[in-house]
């Protein structure tokens, strides 16, 4: 066997998305050779996914012509040759436009290849006593075999040019019996799990992902995020992402003894369980935050502003954000003044307008509305675009006070703007038990716009929202 020594560590893309061939530096002398087969820091810097291998497997093959595959497994693999030489063949068996794409190459100990979940792997030995090694990021189990996808080594559409013809090669009976490509059921992608799926945001996410079988929705009765046992009962290897659409949002009730307990249970303890699950299983965690993590003393709140919550609700949301921030793959979506299905400020004002009531509305709290359809669209965009971190996401347009928004609702509902009277926060809550509120909730949208997502103007969405409410009525 001739090995090319002293290659530089390098990556080479292939026609199959995510399949990458790596040149490995091999150092040799009269005693033999040495290589760093897997070096996380260098390889991640080169672009290899930090796929967190948990098991190392070796296939030893005594004879030239031993042929194994084509097996697509439900985990990622980093494959290399320990000794000998192979002809490798890889076929994309994942759902999607590249299903059936083929890549082949000869590998010796100076090369390795990364194979994502769902890509079929096969090899044929070109020398006696060849050892083929795998690093995988999930533990093998008998149950996992039911999630494999197989392709026949002789499939005509893949048309793999085996160096040693299959009728002369060593094959197992199982491999000979695998189906042709036309009969292969593609391996589906890992799922997205939406928890809190029966709330306002959850319903908006249901609309945005309608018909997508890779997204699973769980309401509180299906998945109680405050119960640690619920997390243990689920097989997380089948998921890539959790979207947390659940939260305790009763701002004033959170100041009561009972509300304080409920707020911390739902916004902190449950979020800690979500964060721990995401870290342990290498999941992406999407979490929705609030302007209440700030005291409202700045004219414009950026993602980097330090926490300064005024009340219990804001304190629990800030604590939840801190927990989520330790998850390597996370999105924190910070919103304000959320409007969706169910009871909310806009619906209340529209109802008052219809009944001829002339309300007093706070005029010294300033911000922007955030409609749940835009939050859902923003989440979907960020999951596709990448770029983990914290993003402010509200609707766009000139900031307004609650009283100005109420006047807009009255006008759009056919009532008079003058029916709304503006009052200060202090006057409105005089004599009432209420949580402190930030007076300025305007969030800087520059970062989310730079990602390629442009929130719609709040006024435009408000008009559409009210017209839809009228149509439903």
Known catalytic residues are 71, 134
Residues 26, 3: contact at Cβ < 8 Å? yes
Residues 6+ apart with CB under 8 A from 103: 14, 15, 16, 19, 89, 90
Say if CB 237 and CB 138 are below 8 A apart: yes
- Among 70, 126, 74, smallest CA distance to 103 is for 70
Instruction: Look at residues 278, 256, 266 and name the one whose alpha carbon lies nearest to residue 320.
Output: 266
Please report the DSSP string for 31-95 in residue order: TEEEE-S--HHHHHHTT-------EEEEEEE-STTBEEEEEE-SS-EEEEEEES-EEEEEEE-BS
Q: Give the dihedral of Cα atoms 173, 176, 182, 187; nearest 10 deg.
A: 60
Is there a contact between 289 and 316 (Cβ–Cβ < 8 Å)? no
Buried b (16+ CB within 10 A) or exposed e, 225-243: beeeebbeeeebbebbbbb
Tokens found for residue 75: 């985990």
Q: Is 444 helix (H, G, I), strand (E, B) or coil?
A: coil
Residue 88: exposure state from Cβ atoms within 10 A (0-12, 13-18, ≥19): buried
Contacts of 402 (CB under 8 A, 6+ apart): 345, 361, 362, 363, 365
Q: Residue 19: which of 84, 96, 85, 101 has the closest Cα?
A: 101
Measured distance CA(343)–CA(448) in Å, rounded: 28
Of the candidates 212, 217, 190, the residue with the CA atom closest to the CA atom of residue 201: 217
């Amino acid at each position: 066997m001739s090995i090319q020594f002293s290659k530089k560590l390098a990556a080479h893309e292939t026609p199959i998305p995510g399949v990458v061939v790596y040149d490995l530096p091999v150092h040799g002398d009269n005693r033999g050779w040495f290589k760093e087969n897997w070096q996380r820091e260098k390889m991640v810097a080169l672009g290899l996914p930090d796929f967190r291998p948990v098991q190392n497997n070796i296939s030893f093959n005594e004879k030239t012509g031993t042929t194994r595959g084509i097996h697509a497994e439900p985990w990622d693999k980093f494959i290399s040759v320990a000794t000998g030489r192979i002809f490798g063949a890889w076929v994309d068996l994942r759902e999607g436009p590249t299903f059936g794409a083929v890549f082949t190459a000869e590998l010796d100990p100076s090369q390795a290849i990364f194979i994502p979940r769902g890509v079929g792997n096969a090899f044929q030995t070109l020398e006696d006593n060849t050892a083929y090694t795998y690093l995988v990021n999930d533990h093998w189990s008998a149950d996992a075999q039911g999630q494999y996808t197989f392709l026949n080594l002789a499939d005509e559409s893949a048309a793999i040019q085996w160096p040693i013809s299959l009728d002369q090669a060593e094959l197992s009976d199982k491999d000979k019996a695998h189906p042709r490509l036309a009969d292969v059921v593609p391996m589906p992608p890992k799922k997205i799990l939406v928890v809190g799926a029966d709330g306002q945001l959850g319903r908006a996410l249901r609309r945005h992902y309608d018909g997508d079988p890779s997204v699973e929705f769980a309401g509180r009765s299906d998945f109680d995020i405050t119960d640690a046992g619920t997390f243990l009962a689920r097989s997380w290897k089948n998921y890539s992402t959790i979207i947390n659409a659940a939260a305790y949002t009763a701002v004033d009730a959170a100041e009561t003894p009972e509300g304080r307990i409920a707020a911390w249970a739902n916004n902190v303890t449950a979020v800690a369980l979500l964060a721990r699950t995401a870290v342990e299983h290498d999941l992406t965690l999407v979490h929705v935050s609030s302007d209440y993590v700030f005291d409202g003393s700045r004219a414009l709140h950026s993602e980097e502003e330090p926490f300064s919550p005024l009340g219990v609700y804001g304190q629990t949301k800030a604590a939840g954000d801190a927990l989520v921030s330790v998850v390597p793959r996370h999105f924190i979506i910070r919103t304000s003044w959320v409007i969706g299905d169910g009871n909310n400020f806009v619906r209340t004002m529209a109802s008052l307008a219809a009944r001829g009531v002339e309300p007093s509305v706070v005029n010294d709290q300033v911000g922007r509305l955030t409609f749940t359809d835009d939050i859902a669209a923003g989440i979907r965009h960020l999951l596709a675009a990448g770029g983990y971190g914290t993003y402010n996401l509200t609707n766009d347009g000139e900031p307004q006070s609650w009283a100005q928004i109420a006047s807009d609702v009255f006008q759009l509902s056919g009532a008079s703007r003058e029916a709304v009277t503006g009052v200060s926060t202090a006057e409105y809550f005089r004599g009432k038990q209420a949580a402190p509120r930030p007076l300025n909730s305007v969030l800087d949208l520059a970062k989310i716009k730079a990602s390629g997502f442009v929130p719609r103007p709040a006024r435009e969405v408000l008009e559409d929202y009210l017209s839809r409410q009228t149509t439903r009525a």
